[in-house]
Amino acid sequence: MDSHDRHARDQEALLPFRRLCGGGRAYANVEMVVVEGDDVAEAILRYAAESGVRSLLLGSVSFRWFQR
């Protein structure tokens, strides 16, 4: 699987979480991105700084739950 296919798969997997950011509204003003890097924190901070992010919401789930 190449990086484009992996990115598309990741975006699709994250779609159900979009409602969590919008207070239950179907379409919140949210941009979801997948960043890659050896140092996850550094990659997120770099993206936020380069993109002018003002608010950042992070979460975590167990890998097993995410696969469902």
d(CA 36, CA 47): 10
**pLDDT confidence of residue 67:** 57
Range of the domain at 50: 3-67
**pLDDT confidence of residue 42:** 93
Q: Is 4 exposed, middle or buried (0-12, 13-18, 19+ CB in 10 A)?
A: exposed
pLDDT in tens, the chain (68 residues): 777 787 788 777 777 776 666 655 555 566 777 788 899 889 999 999 999 988 777 766 565 655 55
Q: Under a CB-based contact definition with an 8 Å cutoff, are residues 44 and 35 in contact?
A: yes
Its pTM stands at: 0.51
Count of the separate structural domains present in the chain: 1
**pLDDT confidence of residue 57:** 72
Q: Under a CB-based contact definition with an 8 Å cutoff, are residues 10 and 34 in contact?
A: yes
